[in-house]
Every structure is written in C-alpha cells, then in structure tokens.
Structure 1
Amino acid sequence: MSNIFIRAHKSPFRPATAEQTIRQHLIGNNVGNLIFSQSVCRLLSTRGTTIRTGGLGGTSPWGDDRRPDRLVLPLANAFRPGFGDRLERMATVIEQAAVPVTVLGVGAQATLSGRRKHRDATDRAVQRFVRATLQHSTGPIGVRGEFTREYLAGLGFGAADVTVIGCPSMFGRGADLRIDRRVDAIGPQSAIALNISPYVPEMGPLSRRHAEQYPNLTYIAQNQQSLEFLLTGHYPAPPDSVVFGSGVPVTDDHPLIQQDRTRFFLDPVTWIDHLRDYQFSFGTRIHGNIAALLAGTPAVVLAHDSRTAELAEYHDIPFRLITDAPGQIDAAELYAEADWGPLNRGHAARWSTFADFLRQHDLSTVYDDGQDGGARFDARLAAVDFPAAVRRSGPGSIEPSVRPSRAAGTAPIGLRRTARRILGGPARRLRARARRLVSVEPRDQLPS
C-alpha cells in the first residue's frame, strides 16, 4: 500500500461552484493548473495506492493524517519573480517532512529574449528549493525543457540533478496521443477555440479581428480575474492596467462578451470534453492548447515568453512567436502552416522518458503491466456531476444559473454583489446567509 500526497489546488473528483472556486482559491488563479495536476493524479492512481491532494502552505499540510510515503509536486513556471516565498515554504515542508520528493515539470520564466527580472532573490529561493528536493529524492528533478535545465546549470546543478521531461499534462493518456486535421482548411464558419492571456497586449486587436472574421469562434477564458468578470461585470485590476487599454475581452463592449461567445470551465473534464467539438484551437495559453490536444483538437500556441515556447518546443506543439507580425496572424493561416506530425511521431519516446523518470522515483503508473490504464479513475470521474461552463450573457446581465453541482451550496457571487448595489442594508443579511451556506470541504483524498 502506497500513500502519496500530490500538490494540487483541488481533487479531480471535487465539484465546486464558481463562487467556491474564487473564495477557496481552487484554481490557483488559472484553471490550467488543474490540467497538469489531474493528469498526475490519474497516472499515479494505481491499485493499492492512496492519493491525497492539497497545498503545501503549512509545515504539515496533511494535518492529522499519517505522513505520506512520498510528496509529488507537479509545478508550472514556479521559478519566477513573485513565487519565491512559496518556493521557500515548500522547501521548509520538504526539509521537515523528511519523505521522498518528486518534482514534475517545473519551469523558469523569462521573456522571449531570455531576460529575467529580480534574478538574485528568485535564484536564492530556487537554489534552496532544488537543494531540499534533491536531498530528499531518489532521482533528479523533472523540468519543462532546455531553457530551465540551462538555468539550473547556471545555478550549479549538474546533469545528474536535472532531467527534461516536459509537462505531465501531455501524458495524461500515456503514450496514446495523436492529432489529425479535422478539416482540410479553416474557413469563416469554422468552429475555433481562442485562448488569451489578458496581459499580452497583442491579443486585444487579434481577438477583435478574429471575432469579426470568424463568427463561430469562442473565447475559452482561464484566469480567475476573467471568471470574476463573467460573474460580476467587473474585471479586478488597477484602472491603469494594460488589460484595459489593449482591447482584450475584459469589458462588456468586447464582441466576444457582447455576443455571449466566452466560456469559463471550472474543471478539466468539462473543458476537454467541450473542446472536442472544435476544429482548431489557438492562443497564448499553453495549457489551454494542451487541453485541446488532449481532446484530439489541433492546436497552435502563440508563444509570448520562455515558458510557453519551452514547452511547445519540447513537445513539438506547433507554435508561433506572438511578436512576429501580430497584426498579420490569422487562424486559417496558422492552421494551414501547422504540422502535427513531429508531435505524433515523438510522443511515444517522450512518454518513455517520462515513465523512466517516474520509475527512478519508485512511482508506478496506471499504464504499467497489470494496471487498468486509468479505467477506475475515469469511471469515478464520470460519476461526478461537475458544473457547466460559466458564461456572461450580455452587458449589465449576469448568467443566473451556473449549474450547481451536487456538492454546491453557495449563492453566486454576482448575485450577492448585485444585491449589495441595489438593496444596501438588506444585502448584508444576504451576504451573511451566503457565508453560512459556504461549505468548506475536508482535505481531498483519492482512496485506493
């Protein structure tokens, strides 16, 4: 019997309303985080293994439960300014827990030119975290790509300390991944999924132009601020933020908002299932495009920094630099020029590298001999009633029923804020009632 603790914002089997997601920070500011954590949970859900999920905010994140046999830390661009405090806290947990640790898919972040901000403070936190990990590990640390490997080499970590494994999200189905064109060409009526990083200014004009040229294009939002905007009509950012001057869909006058062509999925299973209906996906969100690939939908990444370019390069996901004539980027052209052949041909070898890395860390997967290929995990996931996509039906109106899950029990945040504006004093009673309705669930556990 193996007992594994996986760092994750929530269990794959936990449904939550949009309000719970915001109040309890269940996506870590970007629902893309759930794509790679769910993939890891699925891969490691072997017979006889108990998986618990949670954060590493305290010195004993598993509370009164017994100490796990191993910590597994799926990470994204954690080697970046602003994340140093969390790296320090994770290092403390690792040092005090004294159990084997496995780090999956961590990456450094820089501009496309390789420039990094606040290097000294970030480097110190990274060095402490990596040293703590290696001291309590049975193998190397797993990084996203060559850029991160070279960054760690510059900090003094050798080849035996670091292995390039890509992102675990790409291996959620093991060696089984193939992308084929669904249509010969993209046309004006094609079903297209667009993903956007609102802080990338080039996406403003691009999104408006594509909204006009492709009436069946839908924006799939990912960051928590966009979720709050869909619920309340207000995008939580300073008035002078770049998001308000670039034309991205963060205000009601954007055509993708006005025409009800924006969706926000709270869970990977509904997100990926929705993307099966599209002919093409593109945009700046690496995990938004990986979600499409997991659905079998062709995707192209518009790389805007080292983290997106690094992953696209390693996994042979077609990509284009957003800085290359952004005014000329067109979905039909991206689709016509893309080649998913290298991704298809190289995936099995990349999976083999990833599986070998897990074996170095004494970790089995559902694809090992004698395992069920994830069937038990998938059956349990299929039995959960996850909420539908969040949407905003138009200026000044709030979608009244983000379909509640069976575990739901909260008043939508948009209704509370609307009541506050309209009712004044009585809204306080509504808010008090809403707080009583909020259910704080115990630490997530995935039984064997």
Structure 2
Amino acid sequence: MKRILVRSPKDPFHVISPEQALALYPKGVFGRNVGNMIFTESMHRLITVPDADVVSDSFLSERLADSRSHAKRINEEFDQFVIPLANAFRPSFYRNLKQMTQLIERLKIPVVVAGVGVAGGTGSLDNPFPNNPPEVTANIERFLKAVLDRSSTIGVRGETTREYLASLGFGDEHVEVVGCPSLFRRGADLRVDKKVDHLTEDSHFTMNLSPYVPIMDELSIRHAAKYPHMTYIPQGHDSLEMLLWGVDRRPNKRPDLPAHTTHPLYRANRMRFFVDPSTWNDYLAEREFSFGTRIHGNIAAILAGTPAHVLAHDARTLELARYHEIPHTLVPNLPEKPDAADLYDQTDYTAFNDGHLARWEKFARFLEKNGVEHVYEAGKANPEYDKQIAKADFPGPVETLFAESESAHDAMIKRVAEVYKAAGEATLQRRHKPKYPFAPKKQLLRESKALRPLVPIAKKILRRS
C-alpha cells in the first residue's frame, strides 16, 4: 500500500475538543487560522484513494527546529509528500518555510506543492508583488528549487503568484495556476445557487472578517444591530481563546471590533467558532449567505452550497476570487456603508458554476502529472472516507460565555471543572491571596501538634459543663 504524507494540522478523522485544539500548540493545532483546515482537509479527501494510507504531518514539517530525524523517518516510511499551502511567500511565514525547505532538501521521495501564493498586505491591490526582504526572497527561491527537484511543476493559487515567480526565474515550465485545493474537494460536483431572492432583517446569514481591515469595525456594529440573526464566524486562535475563556482581545482605540467580551455580538452569543470543517460545513449549509474578508471562511460557505461574497482587501484574496470567479468586491470600491443585503443582490454565481468543471479538470491534470492519484480517477472512488467523517463525533461550534442552551452550559461547567482540577488549590491560593493572610501551613501544623496534649483536658471540661 502506498503511504502519503500530507501537510495538515491533524488527521481529518481525529476528534479533539476545542480546548485541545487551542492548547496543543502556541497558536492552536490549526496554526493561528482555522481556515487552514479547509484546504488541507480537502486535499486529504481528494487523495485518499482505496489503496493509499494518507497520514497528516501535524505541521511537524515546519514545527521541528531540527528536521534530520524527521526526514529520515519520512524517507523510510512514506512514498510521497503532498503539501497544500496558502499564502506562504511572506515574511511572517519565513521561519516555517525555511524549516520546511530544510526538510524537503533531505527527502528522497516525490514532493508535490499545490495552492501556494504570495501574501497580500497594505496597498497590494495596487502593487500586488511583495516587497520582501532579500533573505525572504532567497528562502522562497530555495524552497522552489527543492520542490522542483522532486516534482514536475508547482501549483500556485493565481495569476499574481505566477507572475511573481516568473520574476524570480520560475516560468510556466515550472509553475501552473491551479487555484485552491479546497474548491476541488468534490471534484467537478460543485454548484452554488441562491436560496432566497433577497436578504431581509430576518435573514440568517454569517459574516467573517480580518481584524486588520479597518472598515470591519463599523460594519460589524451596524450589522449586529440591523440583522438580529446574523452570526459572526471568527477564525483566529485568539478569538477561540476569547470564546472559551473570556480573554479580552480589545485592540487599542478599536472598541467596535468584535474582539472583546463586551462587543454586542459576543454579549448576544452571536459568534461561533469551528475546529473541524465538517461541523463548519453543516452550520453554513443552513445559512442563506456569507460575506466578509476571509477567503477560506467564504470558501467554507461555497462548499456547503451557500452563496458567499468576498470583500477583497489584498492581492492574495483577490487572485483566488478572480481565478475561481467567486463573486467579490474590492474594499476600496465599497460604498461608505456597505450592506449585506446589497452585496447579496450583486452576488451572481453563473460564472463560477459555468467555469468550475474546466478548473477542476486542470487541477486533476496537475495532480496526475505529478503522480498524485485522486478519488475521481476511474476505479479510485473511496466512499468510505465520507462515511468515516459522518461517524466521527466532532464537537459542535464554540459559543460565547453568554450562551443560554443547556448543552453550552454543560460544556462550560465541564471546562471550568477541568481548569480547577488542572490549576489546583495551591495555584488559586497564590493568585487570590487574602488581605490578611493565614499563617503558613507549616506553622499551623506545629501549633496543632503543640495543642494535642490539651485535647483530653478540653474534653473533660466540656463533659462537666
């Protein structure tokens, strides 16, 4: 049986609690943004053919400082390493990419990269090419060479990335635009249609946002007031910490951002966080619309058959929206006070639906050219994958600490009991010192021993009285 290693946060069938998802690594098991699970799980499903054993690398390929022993194990145990990526060509991913490159250079097996792209950032809508420091650019070039020594081509997410890599000397013979693996989870079988004619104030829809996009502050407050059934779906590890533990993440001078426990959306329990794509999909399938700046938050809705509208704020979100023909609006082109109902009216999935088959066929050819088998090849279907996902008891969405349902309260009680047990009485005593502290425990023990001879006398006095 062929064994394939996949860069991903965890095995798709592995059930972990939200508390575990946050605690396993400094920025969560999912690596800061739970949107990473959307495209990595999609790749898992695509390449889990019946005669293959597909294993998650738990991001160890970039989390281990010394990759020598890890590389040795991969060479001995696996036949192929498949790496779905997002906007990895950026300074903040420098260390991760460097460690991944060092690992790849030690591998003797084929390595296939799909969905990688350049980062966006302030002003990138007008100037999409990144102005990376020399060491970052050198690291990108080293990564590309290492991968191309072990594969036919590299799959990038859009035209901006293709042009950027061409400027580094990696032309069309090395690079193919294939989009994001997430949108090919079900191969050619993906279509999105509107569920209602128009949104009203009673509509049930979701919003996602990137906290570094300034317009989302006012937009979130205004929509929270106008649409009582709108729900905000955050994706960052810091938001999960806020929902689970009430940690206040209020940015300075930005009280309208839904990043603190006094925000109206938090107080009204209109936030939901998902630690598995399956439950995320189920929730979004019941909504009428999704909009916001998070590209994979909106792709999650599309995979659930729910229309989404991307607010493209940088080059990385724009190139994916353009390639897949996802309805979108550039943030600078939005009206002064954009409204979800207006965005919904402008949302048309005709081009997306009409072009999906051709995009899927291109992606399939990319996989086949690089020796990656997939479940939509003849004789490679694997219905057991979906059955196993359906059987897994994934945790439901994390709600805020203002949740009213019995199940949410049960989860909170269990969480508090676990924390008390883990922290222990001694820890709480250290954190909550009384104004007039008791005598030290050792002193109390000495005093109690000194009083023992007096106990019989005290008993006699009590009997006489």
Equivalent residue, structure 1, for 2:134: 120
> 1:261 and 1:418, CA in 2 relative to 1: closer, same or farther beyond 3 A?
farther
The TM-score normalised by the length of structure 2 is 0.84
**2:193 aligned partner, one-letter code:** D
- What's the secondary structure of 1:323's corresponding residue? helix
In structure 2, relative to structure 1, the CA distance for the partners of 1:307 and 1:422 (3 Å cut) is same
Deviation at 1:114, TM superposition (A): 2.2
Shift of 1:416: 7.8
1:21 corresponds to 2:21: yes
Aligned match for 2:112, one of 102, 107, 112? 102
Tell me by how many angstroms 1:246 deviates. 5.7
Q: SS of 1:256's equivalent?
A: helix
Match of 1:10 in 2: 10
**What is the Cα deviation at residue 321 of structure 1?**
1.4
Task: Note if 1:213 corresponds to 2:219.
Answer: no
Which stretch shows the higher mean deviation, 291-300 or 61-70? 61-70
Structure 2 counterparts to residues 156-175 of structure 1, below 5 A: 156-175=169-188
Shift in CA distance, 52/387, structure 1 to aligned 2, threshold 3 Å: same
Identity of aligned residues (%): 43
State the alpha-carbon separation in 2 of the partners of residues 141 and 299 from structure 1. 28
**Aligned residue number for residue 423 of structure 1:** 428
Select which of 259, 266, 269 maps to 1:260.
Answer: 269
Secondary structure at the aligned position of 1:31 is classed as coil
Give the structure 2 partner of residue 37 of structure 1: 40
The answer to whether structure 1 residue 192 and structure 2 residue 205 are counterparts is: yes
Among residues 68, 71, 76, which one is paired with 2:86 in the alignment?
76
Max Rg structure: 2
- Number of matched residues? 416
CA distance 1:12–1:62, shift in 2 (3 Å): farther
Q: Which residue of 2 aligns with 1:342?
A: 351
1:393 maps to 401
Partner of 1:424: helix, strand, or coil?
A: helix
Question: Who is 1:380 aligned against?
Answer: 388
Alignment counterpart, residue 321 of structure 1, candidates 320, 330, 340: 330
Deviation of the 1:423 alpha carbon: 3.2
Mapped pair 1:145 → 2:182: no
Cα deviation digits, residues 236-268 of structure 1 (max 9, x gap): 58x64xxx5162101122111111100001100
Larger relative contact order (CA 8 Å, sep ≥ 6): 1
Q: How much has 1:280 moved relative to structure 2?
A: 0.6
| Structure 1 residue matching 2:244: 3-state secondary structure | helix
Please say if residues 71 and 103 of structure 2, whose CA atoms lie closer than 8 Å, have aligned partners that are also in contact. no
TM value normalised by structure 1: 0.87
Partner of 1:445: none
d(CA) in 1 for partners of 2:214, 2:426: 32
Unaligned runs of 5+ in 1: 428-448
Which residue is equivalent to 1:176? 189
Q: 1:125-167, CA deviations, whole angstroms, 9 ceiling, x for partnerless residues?
A: 1101001100111x11000000000010111111100000000
Quote the residue 2:436 is aligned against: none
Q: Provide the rounded CA distance (Å) in 1 between the counterparts of 2:153 and 2:408.
A: 47
CA distance in 2, matches of 1:128, 1:174: 32
Q: Aligned in 2, Cα 1:124/1:413: closer, same or farther, shift over 3 Å?
A: farther
Aligned partner letter, 1:12: P
Task: Give, in whole Å, the separation in 2 of the partners of 1:303 and 1:83.
Answer: 21
Are residues 52 and 298 of structure 1, via their aligned partners in 2, closer, same or farther at CA, if it must alter by over 3 Å? same
Unpaired segments ≥5 residues, structure 2: 433-465
Residue 129 (structure 1) aligns with: 143
